[in-house]
Amino acid sequence: EADIYQTPRYLVIGTGKKITLECSQTMGHDKMYWYQQDPGMELHLIHYSYGVNSTEKGDLSSESTVSRIRTEHFPLTLESARPSHTSQYLCASSEGTGHYGYTFGSGTRLTVV
Amino acid sequence: AQTVTQSQPEMSVQEAETVTLSCTYDTSESDYYLFWYKQPPSRQMILVIRQEAYKQQNATENRFSVNFQKAAKSFSLKISDSQLGDAAMYFCAYRRGWNTGNQFYFGTGTSLTVIP
């Protein structure tokens, strides 16, 4: 079954640690996205990719980085986690035009202590 | 910049009744797409319904329908015969039209409670 997978689902980590949030999709979608979601707030785009070796920053400034070496894989990395990074991170993908909406992963809830 | 506004942070509905969630958006574009997404607690966000701006006919998916008022820039979601499984956060989203980038703009969400 075609889908999009995020791991881990929950992560509690200490300040200063390096972390990578994984996102993989099996649909062959060229376009992938990372959103940050806080309670009561809209989703904010932090990174997107239109294909292999293509990555761009979104509207919300983020200290995270992303890579797109394979079509199906779009990991997000924080080199040094801080409490301000505590949030839910959602990965999504879409077919070429995006007219049919995103497919979302289940999210990673990150807590930095 | 595009903005999407959901003015109802929380709504509740009796099981089997009908509820309408509101959404307004701001755009100067004539070609765009609108979506409603459902996010159950701790679960994946899924697409409920979509509407192309160039279509005057309101989209319908089983118990879910929209009231799309293009001039008013309004896009409300009606859930008929509400079920316990409808309880979730609902997000309205906007996407610009053809070949103008794929970014979606989301509202802040409406938390729907279904009362047995």
- The β-bridge relationship of strands B88-96 and B24-26 is unpaired
- Reduce the DSSP state of residue B24 to 3 states and report it: strand
Could you tell me which chain B residue has the CA closest to the CA of A96? Answer: B102
In sequence order, what are the beta bridge partners of B114? B13
Q: Say how far residue B36 (Cα) sits from the centre of its chain.
A: 3
* Distance, CA of A82 to CA of B78 (rounded, Å): 41
pLDDT band of B31, cuts 50, 70, 90: confident
**AA identity, residue B94:** Y
* Distance, CA of A95 to CA of A92 (rounded, Å): 11
Q: Is B35 on the interface with A (CB under 8 A)?
A: yes
Residues in chain B within 8 Å Cβ distance of A58? 103
B94 touches B34 (CB < 8 A): yes
Average pLDDT for B23-29: 93
Could you tell me which chain A residue has the CA closest to the CA of B31? Answer: A99
Tokens of A78: 């924080």
Q: What letter does residue A18 receive in the DSSP assignment?
A: -
Stated as kind and residue range, the H or E segment containing A109 is: strand A108-112
Average pLDDT for B10-28: 96
- Pick from B78, B38, B86: nearest CA to A101: B38
Residue to test with chain A: of B3, B94, B104, most A Cβ within 10 A: B104
Residues in chain A within 8 Å Cβ distance of B42? 106
Q: Point out the residue among A40, A94, A104 whose CB comes nearest to the CB of B45.
A: A104
Q: What is the pLDDT of residue B99?
A: 56
Q: What is the pLDDT of residue B29?
A: 85
Residue to test with chain B: of A42, A46, A59, most B Cβ within 10 A: A42
Report residues of chain A scoring pLDDT below 50: none
| Inter-chain CB proximity B44 and A101 less than 8 Å | no
Q: Is A58 on the interface with B (CB under 8 A)?
A: yes
Q: Lowest-pLDDT range, A21-25, B55-59, B69-73? A: B55-59
> Whole-number mean pLDDT of chain B?
91
| Inter-chain CB proximity B44 and A50 less than 8 Å | no
Residues in chain A within 8 Å Cβ distance of B36? none
* Distance, CA of A65 to CA of B4 (rounded, Å): 27
Question: Who contacts A18 (Cβ-Cβ below 8 Å, separation ≥6)?
Answer: A77, A78, A79, A80, A81
- Position of tokens 């006919």? B57
B38 touches B48 (CB < 8 A): yes
Q: Is B24 on the interface with A (CB under 8 A)?
A: no
